[in-house]
Amino acid sequence: MKPFTLFFGASGQLGTSDVTHNSQYELVVNTVNQLRDRLLKEEVLRQPFLHIFNTTYNDNTDVPHDLEPCTPLANQVSNMSKFQNIRNYPPTDNDVVDFLTNSFPDLYMAPGNIGPEDVSWHETWSGQGEADKEKIAINCRLVQLWLQAASTPMVVGPSRLQLMFIAVFLHELGHSSLVWYTCDSWQLGSIERESGEYIEKAFLGAITCAEFELEPMCLMGIGIKKDERFYPIDDKLATMVVAIDASKGLPLLDISTLSPAPPATLGHVHAKFSQAMTTMPQHGIPPVPRRLSATHVHPLLKKDKIRVMPGV
């Protein structure tokens, strides 16, 4: 089995270091390894990844008209025709197991942008560069807050931040799995399947979100957002969800048991990320640059353009 490696810093950047065996990050490494173990042991947890593979394998999208002028004539055929030259058999659960066993991506805790409240998910919690078949990146601010909460009392307990971390990791793992399955092919284009969001919704039933108080800046809660409504999650429920108990299938979280919060009041906001992150003390956690650079919304396949994954 390919070992999992944890890095502090962005991939390919000077100063990035392997912290897999650093005791300060033991909680992060153990969480990822336990998640990987659950994915390998429970077939039901692998089904969303197989769905991504099947949807890709059976995609019969033609090249969009606006891309025809810049697409070689030989490539102006359906994605199915091109893809089945790469993999000539339908995907099975064994392909998902192969990915998780032999190509499980490394994680880079990379500097990421502190964006406005309505900034895209991919520009906030995820770090620099696209997820690929060898690595994924998560904004180090999320990890820092989680480790801080584990050692210092905060309004938001560590189990809720651990839930957010797992949600983001699964989101990025969805991206990585698709790039791996397509053999990182440049032949495939004109597909935009937001497989990260698909994976997150498959596991949790909705997209994770947070509540911030703006004056003074403070992280107030973690929850999920569905149909423009915010559903807070408490520490007890978060602890149950992070156990990844698949005995009742997916999603792991039953939204019907949650009560939506009232609309955000003046001075509060429901968002993926907030400027609140910039002022929180580090408490011994390695600092990150004051000016953080970010990735743009990253495609799942090279040259993604138009379509959306069914069910997202």
Please give the Cα distance from 220 to 225 (Å, whole number): 15
pLDDT score, position 123: 36
For 58-69, how does the pLDDT look when each residue is reduced to its tens digit (9 = 90+)? Answer: 877 666 676 677
pLDDT score, position 294: 26
Domain ranges of the chain: 6-205
For 140-185, how does the pLDDT look when each residue is reduced to its tens digit (9 = 90+)? Answer: 888 888 999 998 888 889 999 999 999 989 988 998 898 888 775 5
Query: Above pLDDT 90, what percent of the chain?
Result: 39
pLDDT score, position 233: 96
The sheet with strand 229-233 has its strands ordered as 229-233, 218-226, 207-213, 268-271
In the predicted model, is pLDDT for residue 305 greater than 80?
no
The mean per-residue pLDDT over the stretch 282-296 comes to 30
pLDDT score, position 141: 81
**What mean pLDDT is reported for the chain?**
77
